[in-house]
Structure 1
Amino acid sequence: MAVPPEGTPCWADAMFGDVEGAKRFYGEVLGWTFGEESSEYGNYTQAYANGKAAAAVVPPMPGQEGMSQWCLYFASSDVAATAAKIRENGGAILMEPMEVGEFGSMCLARDPGGVVFGVWQAGTHEGFDTAMDDPGAFCWAEIFAREPEKSDTFFPAVFGYRQQRLEDDGIDFRLYTLGKETIALGRMKMTDDFPQDIPPWINVYFNVPDCDDAVARATKLGGVLRFGPMSSPFGRFAALSDPQGANFSVIDTGTTEGEMPEITDLS
């Protein structure tokens, strides 16, 4: 598998106080299996969808206990140079660039609007091994921003994204692209419907064969349905929180409804 282009979503992981509980939940909902814990790297445990690397779960480090959340990583050819760009454009580095053995190098950062994300420079671990249409695979992400103009300035400056606007009177939504290539990344403005105590975040979507079945499995296991299921031109999807509070979405991209909205290039 080739290293993805700079700025491409390339990996996702989450910290869980109850890792075994997270493994049971996502194993049932997404069909994941799990590798052995890597004690050398804080018991980092890789998840697999049909034998392909799909994501990872890990216990929290001391001092980082709290609500669980998925973290999306963007590909970089030079994590130190990307960290410098993040600072130059008003972002903050939460974890300085560090090597993770032979696997690669990483940092954690926050955009000027408060959105937390990771940067990954591949070594032997190049990122997702799954195709986006594989069951259980990452297939889409949305930056939920309270101050969207900050994200719309910051992310293109750091990663060279171009922008497209979805022409829909009901939402403020943009697609980020690399040239003319889509990269499974959008930006959604958080409306007043979102409680003020919910910070901006990146919502990750995982592909499922049947959205309604995945929702039923998730809620039976203690997950909370936040939105949907809803059919759209992009697939039938739903937003959920797992039993430990981590937000994510599931989507059946094979079940679509309605016409594709008009999209306008902005850059």
Structure 2
Amino acid sequence: MAAPPEGTPCWVDAMFPDMEAAKSFYGELLGWTFGESAPEYGDYTQAYSDSKAVAAVSPQIPGMVGPPAWNLYFSVPDAAAAAAKIRDKGGTLTSEPMKVGEFGTMVTARDPGGLHFSAWQADTHEGFEKTGEPGSYAWAEVTTRDAEKADAFYPAVFPFEVKKMSHEEIDFRLWSIQGEPVAGRMNMNDFFPAEAQPYINVYFAVPDCDAAVATVTGLGGQVRLGPADSPFGRSAQVTDQQGAAFSVIDLRNTKGEMPAFT
């Protein structure tokens, strides 16, 4: 399997103060199983759906403040070149390109609005082994209160083709690679709770959105927005019991006409 084209989301992970609680939560919600922790990499632990790698969790670094968050990796052919672009376009590196054993090379950074993300130059670890199916990554949106900065930054760092959704109430940009939609930028409006912080909204596919929401709340998580129907699927924005924000989506339960993009 070849690494995905440059700019394609290729992996997600998160650090948690309570690893066992995280594994229990996502195991119950998404059916994940977990591999052996890797002590040489800070007890980094891969998650699997149907024996295919879909994400990873690790212990939170001592001294970190704020709730845990899902981190999105964008595929790049050259981590050093990606780091230079991030700097040149107004981002901030939180780590220089770092070789991770035989797996690949990573860069961690913040965009000009302060959102964390990563770039990944694959070696033996090429990213997701399963997407778009229940239990796996489905989509991601940079969800921000500073759309202007995001719009200037991300398409300058990654080769995104950008289109605007034609909708009076929703300020959304669609990012495509080689004509294929890969992610988007959502401007936070009045539909979002005032206390909601900007974040990269990672969507995980589920077979039934409402059942997933019931599982989230039953396990101590919270609903931030939804469930709601759309032409893309029925989805809800939630947080786990440790405060990490993400979304669940039933991609098969679609309603309404697809919006126009220009």
Q: Which amino acid aligns with 1:170?
A: E
CA contact (8 A) 2:32 2:47 kept: yes
Q: In 2, Cα distance between the equivalents of 1:47 and 1:256?
A: 28
CA contact (8 A) 2:54 2:131 kept: no
SS at match of 1:105: strand
Q: Which amino acid aligns with 1:72?
A: L
Q: In 2, Cα distance between the equivalents of 1:193 and 1:170?
A: 10
TM-score normalized by the length of structure 1: 0.95
SS at match of 1:227: strand
Q: Deviations over 1:111-151 (max 9, x none)?
A: 1122210111111110000032x211101001011111111
Identity %: 58
The answer to whether 1:242 aligns with 2:244 is: no
5+ residue gaps, structure 2, are none
Q: Which amino acid aligns with 2:100?
A: V
SS at match of 2:229: strand
The answer to whether 1:94 aligns with 2:94 is: yes
CA contact (8 A) 1:224 1:241 kept: yes
Q: In 1, Cα distance between the equivalents of 2:193 and 2:228?
A: 21
CA contact (8 A) 2:90 2:111 kept: yes
Q: In 1, Cα distance between the equivalents of 2:192 and 2:87?
A: 28
CA contact (8 A) 1:98 1:106 kept: yes
Q: Which residue of 2 aligns with 1:12?
A: 12
CA contact (8 A) 1:17 1:65 kept: no
What is the deviation of 1:216? 0.7
Q: Which residue of 1 aligns with 2:145?
A: 146
Question: After superposition, where does 1:120-199 map in structure 2 within 5 Å?
Answer: 120-132=120-132, 134-183=133-182, 185-192=183-190, 194=192, 198-199=196-197
Q: Which residue of 1 aligns with 2:213?
A: 215
Q: Which residue of 2 aligns with 1:53?
A: 53
CA contact (8 A) 1:114 1:199 kept: no
Q: Which residue of 2 aligns with 1:34?
A: 34
Q: In 2, Cα distance between the equivalents of 1:229 and 1:93?
A: 36
SS at match of 1:56: strand
SS at match of 1:15: strand
The answer to whether 1:119 aligns with 2:119 is: yes
Q: In 2, Cα distance between the equivalents of 1:233 and 1:197?
A: 27
Q: Which residue of 2 aligns with 1:74?
A: 74
5+ residue gaps, structure 1, are none
Q: Which amino acid aligns with 2:54?
A: A
Q: CA RMSD in A?
A: 1.3
SS at match of 2:148: helix
Give the one of 226, 233, 248 matched to 2:224: 226
Q: In 1, Cα distance between the equivalents of 2:154 and 2:98?
A: 21
Q: Deviations over 1:47-91 (max 9, x none)?
A: 001111000000012332541110000001111110000000011
CA contact (8 A) 1:45 1:57 kept: yes
Find runs of 4+ consecutive structure 1 residues off by over 3 angstroms: 192-199
Q: Deviations over 1:17-62 (max 9, x none)?
A: 0000000000000111100111110000000011110000000123
